[in-house]
Amino acid sequence: MSDNRAAWLDAVGSSFRVGPADMPQVGPEEILVKNSAIAINPIDWKVRDYGWLIKNWPAILGCDVAGIIVAVGSKVQRFKTGDRVIGHAVSLLSQEPKYGAFQHYVAIESGKAAILPDNLPFEKACVLPLAIDTSATGLFSASSDGYLGLDWPTLPAKKSDKTVVIYGASSSVGSLAVQFAAASGAYVIAIASARNFDYCRSCGADEVFDYKDESVVPNVVKAIQGAPHPHFAGIYDAISQPESYRITVPILEAIGHGNLATVLPGPEKIPVTSKSSYVEGINTMVHPLWEDYIGSALEQGVLKCVPEPYIIGDSLDSVEEGCKLNQQGISAKKVVITLT
């Protein structure tokens, strides 16, 4: 096993510095992955610029990995050395560098990993992990807590009486939310830009509406009222900005019920008949999805690796560039770096 190197963040607002890192030691229920590809998310530049969640410096950021297992913990049963996997790295929660994706070797909780079929390239699959956890938490957590309370997805999908709206359906999280909602049997109404309508439909959306359309609110309300699945569960807002709340909140007001799941702090006011909850992207409640669904869904081609990877380099030196690209904004693609 070669030496480990990482893209370190030394302080708030600093640039990433590539240098030596300790080889991660795995716990009983962890796996050690040699990264073949990593993805960069918007949260990474926000942590870099504002220091969100980080208590210990220097830090290794990054959430999305795909690679090959080189060691397994003593209690790990689902995996073995040599397995190809995707996994969600959780350094933002743990505060330990060994759990950060931006390095050659990373420790992954076995409950946040799944087998990657041989026919799927690492660079395509690494776009999934953080979006899996973030979308699934909002969709499948209890409606009594302000989430959407959908049934877990199954293979094949079971019929459901629920309808959901996904705002920001062409984003990384939104794309997975559309796929998971459809796989749970729900009727899926997507809101996105007009240029991404076909993309949203390919993910499983039944209807798609343009967020720039002045009539988007009444059009979506009409679609909800006319949906073949009579129970409206609510809205997953994968953007969660003031401009999205100007659309999602009036929809809830018009329908008179339904929850709002958000990926950032929610709106100041929502209808009294609704609940709103902020989705945390690191959550043990999604472990059953990783263990029982993700690998099989990838194998059967039901779960698509979306959005498409936008590969910008083949070394950790590209992490800084990747964060800048995310900060500038990127649609229907995800920034990816391959590693050797």
Q: Is a pLDDT exceeding 70 seen at residue 105?
A: yes
Q: What is the mean pLDDT of residues 212-237?
A: 98
Q: What share of the chain is helix, strand, coil (3-state, %, to 5)?
A: 35, 25, 40
Q: Is a pLDDT exceeding 80 seen at residue 145?
A: yes
- Give the number of other CB atoms < 10 A from CB of residue 34: 18
pLDDT in the model for residue 236? 99
H-helix or E-strand spanning residue 280: none
The answer to whether 251 touches 165, Cβ cutoff 8 Å, is yes
Q: What is the mean pLDDT of residues 282-288?
A: 88
Partners of residue 7 on adjacent β-strands = 18
Q: Where are the domains of the chain?
A: 4-128+305-338, 132-278
Residue 169 has which token pair? 């359906």
The fraction of the chain above a pLDDT of 70, given in percent, is 100
Interatomic CA distance for residues 340 and 23, integer angstroms: 16
Residue 231 has which token pair? 């129970």
Read off the pLDDT band of 53 (50, 70, 90).
Answer: confident
The answer to whether 49 touches 13, Cβ cutoff 8 Å, is yes
pLDDT in the model for residue 270? 94
The answer to whether 71 touches 31, Cβ cutoff 8 Å, is yes
pLDDT in the model for residue 330? 81
Q: Is residue 209 helix, strand or coil?
A: strand
Q: What is the mean pLDDT of residues 19-41?
A: 98
| Predicted TM-score of the model (pTM) | 0.94
Average model confidence (pLDDT) for the chain? 96
Read off the pLDDT band of 1 (50, 70, 90).
Answer: low
| DSSP per-residue string spanning 124-184 | HHTTSHHHHHHHHHHHHS-GGGTS--PPPP-SSPPP-SEEEEEETTTSHHHHHHHHHHHHT
What tens digit of pLDDT does each residue of 229-279 get?
999 999 999 999 999 999 999 999 999 999 999 999 999 999 999 999 999
pLDDT in the model for residue 92? 85
Q: Torsion angle of alpha carbons 302, 176, 152, 62, nearest 10°?
A: 110
Residue 214 has which token pair? 């002045």
pLDDT in the model for residue 331? 74
What CATH architecture does domain 132-278 belong to? 3-Layer(aba) Sandwich (3.40)
CATH topology of domain 4-128+305-338: Quinone Oxidoreductase; Chain A, domain 1 (3.90.180)
What is the per-residue burial (b if ≥16 Cβ within 10 Å, else e) of 171-192? Answer: bbbbbbbbbbbbbbbbbbbbbb
Residue 204 zone, left/alpha/beta (φ > 0; ψ -120 to 50; rest): left
Q: Kindly tell me the burial class for residue 194, based on how many C-beta atoms sit within 10 Å of its own C-beta (0-12, 13-18, 19 or more).
A: exposed
What tens digit of pLDDT does each residue of 149-186 get?
999 999 998 989 999 999 999 999 999 999 999 999 99
Read off the pLDDT band of 333 (50, 70, 90).
Answer: confident
Q: Is a pLDDT exceeding 90 seen at residue 93?
A: no
Q: Is residue 303 helix, strand or coil?
A: coil
The answer to whether 26 touches 72, Cβ cutoff 8 Å, is yes
The answer to whether 208 touches 197, Cβ cutoff 8 Å, is yes
Q: What is the mean pLDDT of residues 89-113?
A: 95
